[in-house]
Amino acid sequence: MSVEGYDAAVLGGAVSGLAAAHGLSDVDKVDEVTVFERQEYDEKRVNCGEAINDTSLVPLEKTPENGFVNDVDGFQLRVHSGPDRPRTEPPIGTANLSCEPGYICERDIVERRWAERLAERGVTFETGASVTPTRYREIVDEFDYVIDATGQPALSLKARGETESYTGDMVALNATVDGDFSGYESWPRIFFEGYIGYAWSFPKSDTRANVGIGWAGDERPDDYMAALREAAERNGFPAPDPDDVNIYTIPRGPSLDPKQVYDPNDNVFRVGDAAGVANRYQGEGICQGIRSAYLLCDLIEEGTPERYPDRLYDAMKSEYRLARLMRGAWVEHEDPDLLAAVAESLEGLSIEDVTRSPARVIRRVAKRPLVASRLVSDRGMLDRLYKSYTDRWEYGTTGTQ
Ligand SMILES: Cc1cc2nc3c(=O)[nH]c(=O)nc-3n(C[C@H](O)[C@H](O)[C@H](O)COP(=O)(O)OP(=O)(O)OC[C@H]3O[C@@H](n4cnc5c(N)ncnc54)[C@H](O)[C@@H]3O)c2cc1C
């Protein structure tokens, strides 16, 4: 610890790490903040759909120079009968979900500009080298606070040999492509097509889009690239050049036991994907990561960082609950018509509602008694309802839950 105040190390300088550094630089009793990022910001490769649903969380002006390239009105869910459908078959159900503060971004630029802004505020950056488990131990000894924002699996868990602590993942592929997106530039599309997962086409402008596909279930294709190409053909977006495609895993939150987000002995805290808070239903993790980092910084400021696991869990519980129920509509029934009816009942809600407000979603579905009764007339679905309202989660298990 320095004489004047505390030193903090942030491991990983993507959205969650940058948010942590930003929050810490506002904490009076923290004198020095150092971010350790293995990539260089000028060359950073981004594995992400680049949709930031609440851009008010990023303290940058929302300009193209800062990477905020498409100010969208919302997202359109399109439910299809399956991947083998006739090419001309329209969706069997759609829902338009508004997202006022949402943008499709150039995420590498957002992160570079945010890092530049933080450097101007006095945050130190050590970039271009991975923190190894040995260096991690040294950092734990040197710094008063260590915030692990290295994604999933977290470096701090790797250092303890505990990478199996997470509850499964979702494999996803994405790339940026050129094409004509003028028909839906303001309403990026998410395609549900019968498998447990989805494809997406998120325009960055009328001629460029981030496109991709992800699978959350145990049934995954033998050839991921071919599956992406076929999804592109079916859904009317250009197939990316295989050399441009990123392949990645998305943690399915709540994928880590909340108690595991803090190591009191070493004063190590996990935020973002490292803490397993990405949304288990739709894969969104940027805002979740940023919020977790800001929450931790507020608690450090208050002098109660040990409350972080409980407070994070309280903040995320509605989202965990809703994600588990929404996944049930898919996993327990495997019925595209039912999913289409559920989607249609959500028409006009916001992304925030369908992500974090179970009561609003349940009220909407309940207005369609036939849909609601079909949904709950299933033991698996009732089990989900019961467990998610009695806080019984599934940490340490893998599979399609
Ligand atoms: C294909 C795909 C599409 C997605 N689409 C969206 C979307 O559209 N919207 C959304 O909100 N979410 C999306 N997500 C989820 C989102 O990308 C993650 O939840 C989010 O990136 C989590 O941010 P993070 O900062 O916690 O971790 P990460 O983004 O994983 O960042 C971890 C950082 O740590 C660095 N790092 C790792 N190990 C070390 C080490 N040993 N030493 C130093 N540095 C290290 C990495 O280089 C990286 O910069 C998507 C994910 C995928 C895979």
Between β-strands 189-192 and 197-203, what pairing exists: parallel, antiparallel or unpaired? antiparallel
Provide the angle, in degrees to the nearest 10, between the axes of the packed helices 107-120 and 15-25: 20
Domain-wise residue ranges, the chain: 6-313, 314-389
pLDDT score at 196: 86
Which residues of 99-215 form beta strands (DSSP E)? 103-105, 124-127, 145-148, 169-178, 189-192, 197-203, 208-215
DSSP string computed for 66-104: GTEEEE-SEEEEEE-S-TTS-TTPPPSEEEEEE-TT-EE
| Integer Cα distance of 401 and 399 in angstroms | 6
- pLDDT tens-digit map of 137-164: 999 999 999 999 999 889 999 998 887 7
| Nearest residue by C-alpha to atom 50 in ligand 1 | 48
| Integer Cα distance of 54 and 102 in angstroms | 5
- pLDDT tens-digit map of 81-136: 999 999 889 999 999 999 999 999 999 999 999 999 999 999 999 999 999 999 99
- Which among 22, 36, 38, 152 is the best mutation to test ligand 1's pocket, defined by most ligand atoms within 8 Å of the CB? 38
pLDDT score at 2: 47
Whether 324 has a pLDDT exceeding 70, the answer reads yes
Question: Could you tell me which residues come within 8 angstroms of residue 134 by beta carbon, excluding any fewer than 6 positions away?
Answer: none
Cβ < 6 Å from ligand 1: which residues?
11-17, 36-39, 47-51, 130-131, 149-151, 155, 172, 174, 212, 248, 250, 272-274, 278, 283-287, 289
Q: Which CATH number describes the domain made up of 6-313?
A: 3.50.50.60
- pLDDT tens-digit map of 159-174: 988 877 777 677 899 9
Distance 151 CA to ligand 1 centre (A): 6
Residue 68's DSSP bridge partners are 105
What region, left, alpha or beta, does residue 268 occupy, with left being phi > 0 and alpha being psi -120 to 50 degrees? beta
| Nearest residue by C-alpha to atom 19 in ligand 1 | 285
Between β-strands 51-52 and 68-71, what pairing exists: parallel, antiparallel or unpaired? unpaired
How many Cβ atoms from other residues are within 10 Å of residue 252's Cβ?
A: 25
Q: For residue 237, which of 226, 246, 228, 224 has the smallest C-alpha distance?
A: 228
Ligand 1 atom with least separation from CA of 53: 11
- Which among 46, 150, 198, 287 is the best mutation to test ligand 1's pocket, defined by most ligand atoms within 8 Å of the CB? 150
- pLDDT tens-digit map of 348-379: 999 999 999 999 999 999 999 999 999 988 88
pLDDT score at 1: 46
Under 8 Å between Cβ of 379 and 327: no
Structure tokens at 221: 């294709």
How many helices (H) and strands (E) the chain has is answered by: 12, 16
- pLDDT tens-digit map of 174-215: 999 999 999 999 999 999 998 888 999 999 999 999 999 999
Between β-strands 208-215 and 169-178, what pairing exists: parallel, antiparallel or unpaired? antiparallel
Residue 125's DSSP bridge partners are 35
